[in-house]
């Protein structure tokens, strides 16, 4: 394991321990062990001269701005000429040596370091002018904040979100139409957030691909530059050194690897390894002459559309899926492709029997490239395929989606129960979607609380196909075990549109797991929670505005036991002290963590300064912000985060 890999491992271990201690009031390691690992990280940072973003040894705060400032690039960023032919790459390279690397599909960022520290980060923008996102870049999970090299250094890299992180983020969003479309769009929106507290939740990473300027150092080859960037702590793009003869083999290597590559990529980049030679070629008005992009040639097949399946979800959204005659694509047989929504159905002018051209996007996801016959005779269902009730087309974001209007549609019920019993919700093992469908059809389940009375149907369940006494008893025990849970898991399990487990935890922590308080929380108060925007706030508040739903949840609460945090000896030490936190934080990773530490010893955190406020925490006591002015006016002490922690939290 390299020093850099060990440092990243220590980041993860120490952050998990800190999160458990401050946010969950539990200890997963002793103070002695924590200090030992912390000291090891300090030693490695001193040894390498590298300090990564988010290092537990650092004090990175999150900030918000009203708009992102613009800045002109010192060196304009041009696009690359493109080809889909390997032979053109060979002709381009000729008798020279080159580097072939991934063309990553994210957002290009220009980073400037001075005196070994990150000075600024700017997006590509239009190539001439970009947006300054320095505070957001400081939250990238693998970006060095300090490097050994102290002269001016400028590099370019791609901000990306991996497929696995993208999937995890989307899994937290219950409403299908609100899920993010692809990692690139999510990354672009995350990097350009006005509030860096949002960026930190998105697991953005930076992969360096070009050294633009390095004062005081001369390099002969691109490979030397990449090795230098690696030595400074940057994660660099994977590359292979190639000649005209070895290019086909290298392209084949990348084309095979992309099938399981976790970082989005839409091709490759070939550049001359000899820097001086590449620069001597100059550039056209559009492209530099020292490099070329290679775009994957999507393998396409023509086939016949046989039907479109309309699949209903628990939210009422009905998703269209194209079913076609099976074809071989990229080594596998495919016969289905999501059409996503009504807008795309109409754009493609689909009709049964049409000849469609299909491919795998980025060699992975089956898609319809085009409709060659465009009969446009496909009817949008007027009735739900599950319950037969009316459907309606609704505009959501920039697309049109089909919804079932029946609030008691069985599909909604089955999918809702499936979420409720899932591992991250109530965690009732043994209740598959197929089993739930049987129980609902048998009349056992109408509301969530009915799950806790399944023992009334024990004899009937034992007689069902796939069940016996043992399996039935195991299921009933799993149901009984699920009675002990947390408020956040319950809230997530309710299936409120857009409210994933992480958001449920934020809301429950804010309202101190008080159901009556959170169920009556106003949209304004919900929006004041870091990580909860207007859409989620309205969705959450709207759920509990339905009196029937609220009554059902109250009945459900009678079946459950909520785990209480183990009280610490000084749990009431700050009882009666109201604290307001404002501005950037340094000791704590985020405001939620700081709030949890205060509440763990009995304090209360609010969002505005009033006569009831005991302390205003602001790392800039001389700030002229409204909160500072109000505190001065009311004679409320203003303390830095460190001063507050030393006085109240030690």
Residues 6+ apart with CB under 8 A from 401: 177, 317, 318, 341, 342, 393, 394, 395
Q: Is 411 exposed, middle or buried (0-12, 13-18, 19+ CB in 10 A)?
A: buried
pLDDT tens-digit map of 335-387: 988 888 898 899 899 999 999 999 876 556 788 988 999 999 999 999 988 88
Q: CA-CA distances (angstroms) from residue 275 to 44, 208, 218, 240, 544?
A: 33, 17, 10, 16, 63
Q: CA-CA distances (angstroms) from residue 392 to 87, 338, 521, 612?
A: 52, 20, 31, 50
More reliable by pLDDT, 612 or 162? 162
Q: CA–CA separation, 13 vs 4, rounded Å? A: 14
pLDDT tens-digit map of 62-113: 454 556 788 888 777 777 877 888 999 999 999 999 999 999 989 999 999 9
pLDDT tens-digit map of 12-67: 888 777 665 444 434 566 656 666 787 788 888 888 888 887 777 764 444 545 56
393: helix, coil or strand? strand
446: helix, coil or strand? coil
| pTM of model > 0.75 | no
Q: Give catalytic residue positions.
A: 103
Residue 402 has pLDDT above 60, yes or no: yes
Mean pLDDT of the chain: 84
């Amino acid at each position: 394991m390299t020093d850099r890999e060990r440092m990243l491992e220590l980041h993860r271990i120490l952050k998990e321990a800190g999160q458990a201690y401050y946010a969950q009031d539990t200890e997963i390691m002793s103070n002695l062990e924590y200090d030992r690992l912390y000291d090891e990280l300090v030693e490695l940072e001193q040894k390498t001269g590298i300090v990564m973003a988010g290092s537990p040894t650092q004090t990175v705060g999150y900030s918000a701005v009203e708009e992102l400032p613009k800045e002109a690039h010192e060196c304009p960023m041009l696009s690359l000429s493109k080809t889909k032919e390997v032979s053109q790459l060979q002709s381009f390279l000729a008798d020279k040596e080159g580097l072939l690397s991934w063309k990553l599909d994210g957002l290009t960022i220009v980073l400037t370091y001075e005196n070994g520290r990150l000075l600024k980060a700017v997006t590509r923008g239009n190539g001439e002018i970009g947006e300054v996102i320095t505070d957001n870049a400081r939250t990238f999970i693998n970006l060095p904040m300090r490097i050994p090299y102290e002269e001016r250094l400028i590099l370019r890299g791609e901000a990306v979100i991996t497929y696995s992180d993208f999937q995890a983020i989307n899994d937290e969003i219950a409403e299908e139409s609100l899920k993010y479309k692809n990692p690139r769009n999510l990354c672009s929106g995350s990097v350009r957030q006005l509030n860096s507290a949002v960026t930190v939740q998105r697991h953005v990473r930076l992969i360096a691909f070009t050294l633009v300027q390095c004062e005081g150092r001369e390099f002969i080859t691109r490979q030397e530059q990449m090795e230098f960037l690696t030595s400074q702590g940057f994660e660099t793009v994977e590359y292979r050194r190639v000649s005209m003869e070895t290019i086909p083999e290298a392209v084949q290597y990348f084309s095979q690897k992309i099938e399981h590559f976790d970082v989005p990529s839409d091709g490759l980049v070939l550049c001359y390894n000899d820097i001086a030679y590449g620069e001597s070629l100059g550039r056209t008005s559009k492209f530099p002459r020292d490099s070329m992009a290679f775009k994957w040639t999507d393998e396409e097949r023509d086939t016949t559309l046989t039907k479109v399946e309309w699949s209903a979800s628990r939210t009422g959204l009905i998703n269209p899926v194209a079913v076609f005659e099976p074809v071989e694509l990229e080594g596998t047989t495919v016969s289905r492709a999501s059409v996503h929504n009504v807008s795309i159905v109409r754009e493609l002018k689909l009709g049964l029997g049409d000849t469609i051209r299909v491919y795998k996007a980025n060699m992975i996801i089956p898609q319809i490239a085009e409709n060659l016959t465009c009969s446009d005779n496909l009817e949008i269902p007027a009735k739900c395929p599950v319950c037969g009730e009316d459907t309606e087309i609704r505009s959501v974001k920039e697309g049109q989606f089909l919804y079932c209007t029946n609030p008691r549609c069985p599909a909604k019920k089955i999918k809702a129960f499936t979420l409720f019993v899932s591992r991250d919700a109530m965690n009732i093992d043994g209740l598959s979607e197929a089993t739930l469908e049987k129980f609902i059809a048998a009349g056992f389940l109408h509301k969530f609380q009915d799950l806790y009375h399944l023992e009334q149907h024990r004899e009937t369940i034992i007689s069902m196909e796939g069940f016996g006494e043992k399996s039935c008893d195991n299921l009933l025990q799993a149901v009984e075990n699920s009675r002990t849970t947390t408020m956040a898991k319950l809230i997530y399990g309710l299936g409120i549109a857009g409210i994933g487990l992480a958001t449920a935890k934020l809301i429950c922590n804010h309202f101190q797991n008080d159901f009556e308080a959170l169920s009556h929380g106003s949209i304004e108060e919900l929006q004041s929670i870091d990580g909860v925007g207007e859409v989620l706030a309205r969705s959450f508040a709207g759920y509990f505005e339905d009196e029937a739903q609220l009554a059902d949840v109250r009945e459900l609460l009678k079946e459950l036991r909520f785990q209480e945090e183990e009280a610490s000896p000084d749990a009431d030490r700050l009882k009666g002290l109201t604290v307001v936190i404002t501005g950037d934080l340094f000791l704590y990773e985020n405001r939620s963590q700081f709030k949890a530490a205060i509440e763990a010893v009995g304090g209360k955190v609010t969002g505005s300064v009033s006569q009831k406020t005991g302390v205003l925490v602001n790392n800039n006591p001389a700030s002229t912000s409204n909160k500072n002015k109000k505190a001065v006016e009311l004679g409320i002490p203003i303390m830095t985060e460190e001063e507050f922690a030393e006085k109240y939290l030690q």
